[in-house]
Amino acid sequence: MEKFIKENLIKIKTFHPFFEKALNEMLLAGGKHFRPKLLLAVVKAYNPLLVENAKYAAFAVELIHTYSLIHDDLPVMDNASLRRGHPTLHITYDEATALLVGDALNTYAFEVLSKAPMHSDVKVELIKILSQNAGPRGMVLGQAIDLYFEDKKLNINELKELHLNKTAKLIAASLKMGAIVVNKNELAKKLYDFGLKLGLLFQIQDDLLDLEDESKTGKTTGIDLHKNTFVTILGKEKALKEADKLADELKKELESFDENLKNELNGLLEKYLYRHKNKKEL
């Protein structure tokens, strides 16, 4: 996936002194590429010959995720100074540049998806899934709830709704998009539901991660104390228990998948399901 990203960076003709560099900076900074890998794992399980074509969809997901991180780090949101081990874009350049880079990556995602070597009907469905889960009924809604209710305590059900939208839906969409690429429409809903639960687990783990030193995490930590997180609402010990419960449920659900899918997802999720138990993996 890293090679594909490098080969498909944004190239523009402009006299702007640094905008092209800024556009690609966070893409080149690394990251786990967890969401693209989920999509590709589903494709590989059923039709390995489609993996190269599916990388367009996987890259589109990564572009959406990266744009969301850039915006999330802005002073008007989390005001973070470190991401993926690098200074955030508003620190390196300025707030306007960071805002515009996020906008550009968001729209570029759909340009990339439109160029995917797939049937038009498949691309339309992928665009629909990605936009629904990243937009006003998904990630953006979650971010809006998160920001509005800072310093206003939510109950546990409201907290889950927040993070189902903000984090889980893009993870779920990645799995569902993989199923659509390989024409496994009947599997798409099951994978989407699995992804929602996986996304909640990921969020709890990230909330626990905020307790760690930023030299270990590669991003600014200690900024969630005034937010609604699983740690601030439940406390660290209960958050760890909730993570254990979700991880155990996901492990059991993995066993219900057919052998190829189970093997592909197990290979990817092995180090993630219980990473809350291992600070090195956090």
pLDDT score for 217 = 58
pLDDT score for 132 = 98
- Identify the CA nearest to 114 among candidates 124, 104, 105: 124
Q: Return the number of other C-beta atoms located less than 10 Å from residue 282's C-beta.
A: 16
Q: Please list, in sequence order, all residues whose beta carbon lies within 8 angstroms of the beta carbon of residue 190, skipping any fewer than 6 positions away.
A: none
| Digitized pLDDT (tens) for each residue of the chain, 282 residues in all | 999 999 999 999 999 999 999 999 999 998 899 999 999 999 999 999 999 999 999 999 999 999 999 999 999 999 999 999 999 999 999 999 999 999 999 999 999 999 999 999 999 999 999 999 999 999 999 999 999 999 999 999 999 999 999 999 999 999 999 999 999 999 999 999 999 999 999 999 999 988 875 655 566 666 667 789 999 999 999 999 999 999 999 999 999 999 999 999 999 999 899 998 875 444
Domain ranges of the chain: 2-277
What is the per-residue DSSP string for 25-87?
HHHHT----HHHHHHHHHHHHH-GGGHHHHHHHHHHHHHHHHHHHHHHTSTTTT---EETTEE
The CATH number of 2-277 is 1.10.600.10
pLDDT score for 281 = 45
pLDDT score for 226 = 76
Query: Dihedral, CA atoms, 100, 106, 112, 113, nearest 10 degrees?
Result: -170
Q: What is the pTM of this model?
A: 0.94
Please classify residue 174 by burial: count the beta carbons closer than 10 Å to its beta carbon, then call 0-12 exposed, 13-18 middle and 19+ buried.
buried
Q: Which residue has the tokens 């496994």?
A: 184
pLDDT score for 277 = 84
pLDDT score for 223 = 64
pLDDT score for 30 = 87
